[in-house]
C-alpha cells in the first residue's frame, strides 16, 4: 500500500477501523522527545497491538538499525546488533492479509537496510554466507514476533492463545554471545500486571505445548497433555536462530 492509499475499503474501515497512518505522521509521532531514549536502546521493546501493514514497526526498525550501525565497530558486531534491534519489535494484527504484508514489509526493510550497510560499510559481498544466515535468522524472528490475532481477546483465528518469543541475550562466554528463545503466551505476559513484554517470567517451557497441538489432533485432550513432550529452544548465536534448534525437556 502506498502512502496515499490509507484505506482499502469502506467495509474494512467500518468493521475493523482499518485506516493506515501516513509516513509523515508516523515520523512526527516517532520524533516525540519521550520516545528517543527507547528508540536509541536496541533492546528496548516495542509492541504494536494493531500493527496493520507495519507503518510504525518498519520505521522503528529503520531507526534502530541506524543506531546498530553507529555503535558497531566491526561486521560481527553489526550482524549481532542488527538482529538484537529486530528482536525487540513485536506486532499483533487481526487480519490475515495484513499480517502477510506486515511480515513482508519487515523482511524487506531489514534485508535492504542490513545488506546495504554490510556491503557498503563492511565490504561484505552479495553471496556472503553470513549475510544469508543473518537474513534467514531475521525472517525467523519476524515470523515469530509478528502475530495474527485479536489483541483484545488475546486469541488467534484458530482460538489459540497468542504466543510470543522472547530473545533473551545470555552473558558472553569465551567471546561468544548466545540468545535463549523463550515462549510466552500473551496472557502470561499481561497477567504479570505490567504490559511490558520484556518482563522476566519463570516456567516458560510448558507454553510450547501448543506448537505440537496438530500432531495430536485425534487424541483425547487428557492424553494429549500427558503425551506432549515439553520443548526448550537451544541457546545459539543470533545469526543461527534460523536453525530453530529445540531439545525435549520432558515427556
Ligand atoms: C487504524 S489501523 C492502524 C494500522 C497501523 N498501526 C497503521 O498505523 O498504519 C488498525 C489496524 O488494527 C487492526 N485491528 C482491528 N482490531 C484489532 C484487534 N482487536 N486486534 C488486533 N488488530 C486489530 C485492523 O485490522 C487494522 O489493520
Identify whether 3 is part of a domain: no
Ligand 1 atom closest to Cα of 48? 6
Q: What is the pLDDT of residue 8?
A: 87
Domain count for the chain, please give it. 1
Nearest CA, atom 5, ligand 1: 52
CA of residue 7 to ligand 1 center, whole Å? 12
In this structure, the residue with its CA closest to atom 17 of ligand 1 is: 94
Cell (9 digits) for 179: 540468545
What pLDDT, on a 0 to 100 scale, did the predictor assign at position 6? 87
Query: Is 217 a domain residue?
Result: yes
Q: Residue with the nearest Cα to atom 27 of ligand 1?
A: 52
Which residue from 86, 90, 85 is spatially nearest to 47, judged by alpha carbons? 90
Question: Which parts of the chain have pLDDT scores under 50?
Answer: 3, 193-229, 251
Q: Output the CA–CA distances (angstroms, integers) from residue 163 to 17, 44, 63, 207, in the order listed.
A: 24, 19, 26, 8
3-state class of 165 per DSSP?
Answer: strand
Q: What is the pLDDT of residues 76-112, one digit of tens each?
A: 999 999 999 999 999 999 999 999 999 999 999 999 9
- Is there a domain that residue 1 lies in? no
pLDDT (0 to 100) of residue 229: 47
Tell whether 76 is covered by a domain: yes
What is the spatial distance between Cα 10 and Cα 1, in angstroms, rounded to a whole number? 16
In a domain, 149, yes or no: yes
Let me know: does 35 contact 1? Beta carbons within 8 Å: no
Ligand 1 probe mutation, 4, 7, 50, most atoms within 8 A of CB: 50
> Does 144 map to a domain?
yes
pLDDT value at position 250?
Answer: 59
Per the domain annotation, does 178 fall within a domain?
Answer: yes
The per-residue pLDDT for 64 is: 98
Domain that holds residue 242: 10-250
Asked, for residue 5, whether it belongs to a domain, the answer is no
Q: Whose CA is nearest to atom 16 of ligand 1?
A: 16
Q: What is the pLDDT of residues 162-185, one digit of tens each?
A: 999 999 999 999 999 999 999 999
CA of 209 to the centre of ligand 1 (A): 28
Scanning the chain, the segments in alpha helix (DSSP H) are 10-16, 23-30, 36-40, 55-70, 75-87, 96-121, 129-145, 186-190, 221-227
Amino acid at each position: 500500500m502506498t502512502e496515499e492509499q490509507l484505506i482499502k475499503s469502506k467495509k474494512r474501515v467500518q468493521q475493523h477501523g482499518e485506516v493506515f497512518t501516513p509516513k509523515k505522521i508516523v515520523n512526527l509521532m516517532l520524533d516525540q522527545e519521550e520516545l528517543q531514549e527507547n528508540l536509541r536502546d536496541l533492546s528496548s521493546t516495542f509492541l504494536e497491538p494493531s500493527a496493520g501493514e507495519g507503518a510504525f514497526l518498519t520505521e522503528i526498525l529503520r531507526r534502530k538499525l541506524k543506531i546498530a550501525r553507529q555503535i558497531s565497530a566491526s561486521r560481527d558486531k553489526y550482524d549481532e546488533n542488527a538482529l538484537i534491534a529486530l528482536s525487540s519489535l513485536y506486532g499483533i494484527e487481526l487480519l490475515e492479509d495484513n499480517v502477510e504484508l506486515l511480515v513482508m514489509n519487515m523482511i524487506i526493510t531489514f534485508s535492504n537496510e542490513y545488506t546495504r550497510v554490510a556491503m557498503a560499510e563492511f565490504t561484505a559481498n552479495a553471496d556472503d554466507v553470513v549475510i544469508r544466515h543473518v537474513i534467514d535468522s531475521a525472517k525467523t524472528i519476524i515470523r515469530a514476533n509478528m502475530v495474527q490475532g485479536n489483541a483484545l481477546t488475546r486469541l488467534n483465528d484458530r482460538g489459540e492463545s497468542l504466543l510470543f518469543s522472547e530473545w533473551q541475550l545470555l552473558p558472553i562466554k569465551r567471546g561468544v554471545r548466545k540468545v535463549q528463545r523463550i515462549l510466552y503466551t500473551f496472557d502470561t505476559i499481561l497477567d504479570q500486571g505490567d504490559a511490558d513484554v520484556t518482563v522476566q517470567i519463570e516456567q516458560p517451557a510448558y507454553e510450547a505445548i501448543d506448537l505440537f497441538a496438530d500432531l495430536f489432533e485425534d487424541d483425547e485432550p487428557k492424553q494429549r497433555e500427558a503425551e506432549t513432550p515439553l520443548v526448550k529452544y537451544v541457546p545459539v548465536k543470533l545469526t543461527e536462530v534460523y536453525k530453530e534448534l529445540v531439545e525435549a525437556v520432558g515427556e
